[in-house]
Structure 1
Amino acid sequence: MILSTTKIAIIGAGAAGCFTAANILHDPNREVILFEKSGKALQKVKASGGGRCNVTHHLFDIADFSNHYPRGKQLLRKTLHHFDAQATIEWFRNQNVGLKAEQDGRMFPVSNNSQTIIDAIWQRLIANGTSVLFHKNISYIEEKDKHFILHFSDQSIFEADKVIVSCGGFPKIEQYKWLQALGHSIVAPAPSLFTFNLPNHPITQLMGLSVSDVSIRISQSKIQTSGDLLITHWGLSGPAVLRASAWAARLMQERLYQTTIQINWLGNTTEPAIREIFQSLRQQQGAQIIQHKNPFNLPKRLWDFLLHHADINEKTRWGELPATQQNKLIELLIRHPFAIQGKTTYKEEFVTCGGIPLSEINPQTMESRCKAGIYFVGEILDVDGLTGGFNFQHAWSSAFLAAKALSEKTQE
Structure 2
Amino acid sequence: MKIGIIGGGAAGFFAAIHAAGPGREVTIFEKSPKLLSKVKVSGGGRCNVTHRPMEISKLIKNYPRGEKFLKKVFHKFKSEDTINWFESRGVALKIEADGRMFPVSDSSQSIIDVLLKEAQKLNISIRKSCAIKSIHPVSNQYKLETDAGVFVVDKLIIATGGHPKLDSYSFLKNLNHSVLDPIPSLFTFNTPKESLRELMGLSVVDGIVKIQGTKMTYRGPVLVTHWGVSGPAVLKLSAFGAQWLKDQNYAATALINWNGAYGEEEFSSHLKNYMLAHPNRKVRGNSLFEIPSRLWEHFCSRSGIEKEQLYGTLSKKQINKLVQNLFCYNLSVEGKTTFKEEFVTAGGIALNEVNPETLESKFHPNLYFAGEVLNIDGITGGFNFQAAWSTGFLAGIASTK
Matched, 1:144 2:138: yes
Q: Work out the CA distance in 1 between the residues paired with 2:341 and 2:148.
A: 32
Mapping of residues 25-174 of structure 1, within 5 Å: 25-27=20-22, 29-152=23-146, 154=147, 156-174=149-167
- Equivalenced residue count is 401
2:202 alignment counterpart = 209
Alignment of 1:327-342 (within 5 A): 327-342=320-335
Note the residue ranges of structure 2 that are not aligned, 5 or more in a row: none
Q: Which residue of 1 aligns with 2:3?
A: 8
Measure, in 2, the Cα distance between the counterparts of 1:213 and 1:346.
Answer: 23
User: Residue in 1 aligned with 2:212?
Assistant: 219
* CA deviation after TM superposition for structure 1 residue 242, in Å: 0.7
1:281 Cα deviation from its structure 2 partner: 2.7
Deviation at 1:21, TM superposition (A): 0.9
Q: Could you tell me how far 1:222 is from its partner in structure 2?
A: 0.9
1:219-238 CA-to-partner distances (Å, cap 9, x unmatched) read 22110001111111111111
For 1:310, the equivalent position in structure 2 comes to: 303
Would you say the 8 A contact 2:360–2:367 is kept in 1? yes
**Is 1:215–1:266's contact at 8 Å kept on the other side of the alignment?**
yes
Partner Cα separation in structure 2 for residue 216 and residue 23 of structure 1: 41
Does the CA contact (< 8 Å) of 2:130 and 2:148 recur in 1? no
Matches within 5 A, 1:177-196: 177-196=170-189
1:301 aligns with 2:256: no
Matches of 1:285 and 1:106 in 2, distance apart? 41
> Is contact 1:357-1:381 (8 Å) kept?
yes
Per-residue deviation, residues 314-367 of structure 1 (Å, max 9, x unmatched): 222222211222221122111111111211124732100110111111111100
* Offset from partner CA, 1:209-250 (integer Å, 9 cap, x none): 111201001122110001111111111111111111111111
2:222 is the alignment partner of 1:229? yes
- Match of 1:338, SS? strand
CA contact (8 A) 1:195 1:346 kept: no
Measured in 2, the distance between the counterparts of 1:145 and 1:281 equals 78
Q: Distance in 2 between matches of 1:43 and 1:354?
A: 21
**Matches of 1:295 and 1:184, distance apart in 2:** 56
Aligned to 2:16: 21
Give the superposed CA RMSD: 1.5
* Matched letter for residue 99 of structure 2: G
State the secondary structure of the residue aligned to 1:293.
Answer: coil
In structure 2, how many angstroms separate the alpha carbons of the residues matched to 1:347 and 1:309? 35
Shift of 1:389: 0.8
TM normalised by structure 1 equals 0.94
Q: Give the TM-score taking structure 2 as reference length.
A: 0.96
Q: Which piece of structure 1 moves more, 180-189 or 280-289? A: 280-289
Question: Cα offset for 1:200?
Answer: 4.7
Query: Unaligned regions of 5+ residues in structure 1, if any?
Result: 1-5
Contact 1:259 1:340 survives alignment (8 Å) = yes
Partner AA of 2:74 in structure 1: L
Q: Deviations over 1:22-78 (max 9, x none)?
A: 122411x22111100001110111111121111111123211211111111112222
Distance across 2 between alignment mates of 1:120 and 1:282: 59
CA contact (8 A) 1:21 1:128 kept: no
Distance 1:344 1:96 in 2: 37
Distance apart, 1:133 and its partner CA: 0.8
Rounded Cα–Cα distance in structure 2 between residues aligned with 1:15 and 1:111 = 19
Is 2:253 aligned against 1:249? no
Q: Distance in 2 between matches of 1:200 and 1:259?
A: 13
Large movers: runs of 4+ above 4 Å: none
Residue number among 346, 370, 373 corresponding to 1:380 in the alignment: 373
CA distance in 2, matches of 1:310, 1:59: 44
Mapped to 1, the partners of 2:371 and 2:342 lie a distance apart of 14
For the residue of structure 2 that corresponds to 1:151, the secondary structure is strand
* Separation in structure 2 between the aligned mates of residue 347 and residue 380 of structure 1, nearest angstrom: 16
Describe the SS at the equivalent of 2:341: coil
Report how far residue 155 of structure 1 moved.
Answer: 6.7
Q: Counterpart of 2:357?
A: 364
Which one-letter code corresponds to 1:264 in the other structure? N
Aligned-pair CA distance for 1:201: 2.4
Alpha-carbon distance in structure 2 between the residues aligned to 1:148 and 1:23: 20
C-alpha distance in structure 2 between counterparts of 1:96 and 1:194, whole Å: 34
Aligned to 2:285: 292
The CA distance in 2 between the partners of 1:150 and 1:343, in whole Å, is 37
2:170 & 2:205 partners in 1: Cα distance? 44
The AA in structure 1 aligned to 2:327 is I
Task: Report the alpha carbon displacement of residue 262 of structure 1 after superposing the two structures with TM.
Answer: 0.8
Equivalent AA in structure 1 for residue 2 of structure 2: K
- Any idea what SS the aligned residue of 2:29 has? strand
Question: What is aligned with 1:3?
Answer: none
Contact 2:267 2:327 in 1 (8 A): no
Deviations 1:93-146 (A, max 9, x none): 221111111122111112222111111111112222211111111111111222
8 Å contact kept, 1:215–1:268: no
Describe the SS at the equivalent of 1:16.
helix
- Report what 2:274 is aligned to: 281
User: Aligned residues: percent identity?
Assistant: 44
2:324 and 2:152 map into 1 onto residues whose CA distance is 64
